[in-house]
Structure formats: structure tokens, C-alpha cells
């Protein structure tokens, strides 16, 4: 026997009223759409001050790398411009000499014409595309005097040399144009990186700027501690070396200076001059591409400092790192160059006690700072340039 159940409609109650399931679904959809419509548009979360600090540092690092590229391209442009000027001067001199030779040949042709000579071919020679072929075909050389032959030889030689130099000058001009375009691109790249960094910093509130300054201070304190540790390690190593040298002198009875100490003395004298120059630049602004005397970028400062000591360094960090002798960080001495980052885009001049003088970045000034200012991991190498 079938059971009898009372039918109960499915649905939910709203304010005591039972609604059908379909109506409930419709109401739910309307509610969701309403919530979606009223919700504020999602926005990217604001970066933390630590993220801003890292991004700004990255942009300054990229700007320095772009600056070194700009420096290299500008130096190349200057060299190419010098070559073009030299070639153009040479072409002008040779063209003048060619004109003189042409005038002399013209005078021979005029004389032959006045005397009724049968060889007015010299005049035709002046219009020939290839004078040597012209001589071969007409056998004109057999009918010329020795003086005329010398003039013709001079003309042929100067025409060939002038044509060659004109081609070289044209090629050099094309190369210079290409390099100048690359220079313009490098300059724009630096400016974009710096503009992006300034834009990030300009959006910080006063509170955020204070927090950023606190982060920088904390980093500086950590760098100073690392510098002090290096200074202590070097002092201990130097003391140990002196004791060993004294012990050896007592044992062997030898005295005097070795060739090594003489070399060290020579380097120290040069390094002192480089350091004196660098210290005199402290407080001058960092300007990318600058080599002094009013402002510097990082490699411009080290180049100028060692030039004051009589040592010529290349313009860029990428070339400076290859000049001299690479030494371990533990053996670093005042005057050595400290290079940073895997792309070798920054350099400073070591002054001792874990400190260096460098032109840090745009917006900063030449200053003395720990070589660990960005952490030990970013130190690429140490080079003794002389």
C-alpha cells in the first residue's frame, strides 16, 4: 500500500514567505550582480617601502650601466671624429696636390698645341677616368719628355691616392654617423632610468621617505661594521707579517729592503697622490658622463685621480678593470680600484680601513663610504692599477 505523504514545495523562506527554487536562484543572481556593480574597481596593491627601495636601487644600477655604455660610445665617437677630420685634411692636401699636377699637365698640353705638336693627348688625359689605362692604350708615354713623364707619374699617383682617401673618409663618416646614433640612444637610456627612479621617489609620502631613510641608515651601519672587520683583519695580518719578517731577520742576520718592498714603496707614492686628488673632490656632485673638474661619474673620478698620479686609465669601468693586477680583497691596499656588480658598472678608490672614495649615483655627491655599502656580494674585484 502506497504511503501517503503531504507535498511540500522546495524552496526557502524570505520574511516568512516560501519561495520557489527558481525564484531563489534568480534573487541570488541579482544580489551577486548588485554586489559586483557596487564593488570598487580592483587596483594594484601599493608596493612596500622595501620594494620601492629595491626598485630605486635597481634603476640607479641600470642607469650606471647605461652611463658606462654612454661613456664608451662617446669615447669611440671622439676617436672616430678625430679620424674623419684627419682623413678630410689629408684629402684636402692631396686634392690640392692633384690640382697642381693637373695644371702642370695642362701647361704641357697648351704648349704642344701652340707649337703644333702632334700630341695634344695630354689634355685628353685630364678627362680620362683611368689615366694609366689611357697611357697604355695611346702609348703617350713614349712621346713625352722626361720632365713630362715625371709630371704624369705624379698625377697618376696623386689621383689614385686621393680616390682611396676619399673612399676611406666616406666610410669613416658613415661609421661616425652610426656611432653618433648609438650615443644618442645610450643617452636616452640613462635619462629614462633616472626619470623612473625620480618618479618612484616623488610618490612617497613624508612618512615613507622617513622609513626609506631609516632603511638606508641601517644598511650604512651594517656596511660600516663590515669595513671595521676588514680593517681589523688587515691590521692583524700586517702585524703577523711584520713579526715573521723580524723573526727571519734575527735568524738569518740579514737586513735591508727587498725588491718587493721597493715596489710597494713606489706604488704607495703614486697611490698617495691619487688619494689626495680624490679627497679634494669630496662633496662635488655625481653627474653621469662627467670627468671633472666640477663633477664626476664613478669611472671619471678614478680616471682623474690616477691621472694626477701620472697613471693613465681608460675611461670606462669595463676597461679600467683590465688595467693592472687583480688582487684578493684581503690584500687590498689604499689606491686600489674596487669594482662592483657582475656587469662591472661601478668603481671606487680604496682609502684604507674598509673605506673608499667614490661618486655613488645621480643625486649624490662624491663621498667616503664603506666598500660594503651594497653588501659584500656585489664586490666584483679589486685591481691595483700601477
Catalytic residue positions? 298, 346, 358
User: CA dihedral defined by 381, 298, 364, 199, rounded to 10 degrees?
Assistant: -90
What does the alpha-carbon distance between residue 313 and residue 320 come to, in Å, rounded to a whole number? 6
- Residue 40 DSSP one-character state: P
312 φ/ψ angles, rounded to the nearest 5 degrees: -90, 115
Given a contact cutoff of 8 angstroms between Cβ atoms, the answer to whether 241 and 331 are in contact is no
Nearest to 378 by CA among 335, 349, 346, 355: 346
φ/ψ of 38, rounded to 5, equals -85, -15
**CA-CA distance, 216 to 195, in Å (whole number)?**
21
Region label for 333, one of left (φ > 0), alpha (ψ between -120 and 50) or beta (otherwise):
beta
Q: Would you give the end-to-end CA distance of the chain in angstroms?
A: 113
**C-alpha cell, 344:** 662591472
Note the residue count of the chain: 386
Residue 323 phi/psi, 5-degree rounding, is: -105, 125
CA atoms within 13 A on the CB side of 153: 7
Q: Please return the burial class of 274, using the count of CB atoms within 10 Å of its CB with bins 0-12, 13-18 and 19+.
A: buried
Q: Greatest CA span in the chain, whole angstroms?
A: 151
Question: What are residue 348's DSSP bridge partners?
Answer: 338
* Distance of alpha carbon 183 from alpha carbon 177, whole angstroms: 10
Nearest to 173 by CA among 84, 76, 89, 91: 84
Amino acid at each position: 500500500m502506497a504511503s501517503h505523504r503531504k507535498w511540500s514545495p522546495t524552496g526557502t523562506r524570505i520574511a516568512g514567505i516560501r519561495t520557489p527554487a527558481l525564484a531563489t536562484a534568480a534573487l541570488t543572481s541579482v544580489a551577486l550582480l548588485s554586489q559586483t556593480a557596487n564593488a570598487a574597481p580592483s587596483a594594484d596593491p601599493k608596493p612596500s617601502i622595501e620594494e620601492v627601495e629595491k626598485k630605486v636601487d635597481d634603476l640607479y644600477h641600470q642607469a650606471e650601466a647605461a652611463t658606462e655604455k654612454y661613456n664608451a660610445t662617446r669615447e669611440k665617437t671622439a676617436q672616430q671624429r678625430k679620424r674623419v677630420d684627419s682623413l678630410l685634411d689629408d684629402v684636402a692636401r692631396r686634392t690640392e696636390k692633384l690640382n697642381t699636377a693637373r695644371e702642370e699637365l695642362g701647361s704641357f698640353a697648351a704648349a704642344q698645341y701652340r707649337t703644333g705638336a702632334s700630341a695634344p693627348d695630354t689634355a685628353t688625359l685630364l678627362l680620362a677616368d683611368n689615366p694609366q689605362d689611357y697611357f697604355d692604350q695611346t702609348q703617350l708615354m713614349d712621346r713625352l719628355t722626361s720632365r713630362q713623364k715625371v709630371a704624369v707619374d705624379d698625377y697618376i699617383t696623386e689621383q689614385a691616392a686621393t680616390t682611396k682617401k676619399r673612399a676611406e673618409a666616406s666610410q669613416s663618416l658613415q661609421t661616425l654617423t652610426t656611432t653618433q646614433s648609438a650615443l644618442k640612444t645610450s643617452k636616452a637610456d640613462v635619462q629614462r632610468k633616472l626619470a623612473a627612479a625620480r618618479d618612484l621617489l616623488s610618490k612617497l609620502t613624508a612618512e615613507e621617505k622617513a622609513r626609506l631613510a631609516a632603511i638606508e641608515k641601517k644598511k650604512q651601519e651594517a656596511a660600516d661594521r663590515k669595513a671595521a672587520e676588514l680593517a681589523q683583519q688587515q691590521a692583524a695580518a700586517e702585524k703577523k707579517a711584520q713579526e715573521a719578517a723580524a723573526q727571519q731577520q734575527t735568524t738569518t742576520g740579514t737586513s735591508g729592503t727587498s725588491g718587493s718592498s721597493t715596489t710597494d714603496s713606489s706604488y704607495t707614492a703614486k697611490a698617495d697622490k691619487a688619494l689626495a686628488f680624490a679627497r679634494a673632490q669630496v662633496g662635488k656632485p655625481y653627474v653621469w658622463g662627467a670627468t671633472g673638474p666640477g663633477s664626476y661619474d664613478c669611472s671619471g673620478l678614478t680616471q682623474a685621480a690616477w691621472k694626477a698620479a701620472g697613471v693613465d686609465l681608460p675611461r670606462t669601468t669595463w676597461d679600467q678593470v683590465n688595467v693592472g693586477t687583480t688582487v684578493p680583497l684581503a690584500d687590498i691596499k689604499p689606491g686600489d680600484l674596487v669594482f662592483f656588480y657582475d656587469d662591472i658598472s661601478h668603481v671606487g678608490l680604496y682609502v684604507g680601513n674598509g673605506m673608499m672614495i667614490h661618486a655613488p649615483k645621480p643625486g649624490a655627491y662624491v663621498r667616503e663610504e664603506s666598500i660594503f655599502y651594497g653588501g659584500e656580494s656585489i664586490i666584483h674585484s679589486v685591481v691595483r692599477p700601477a
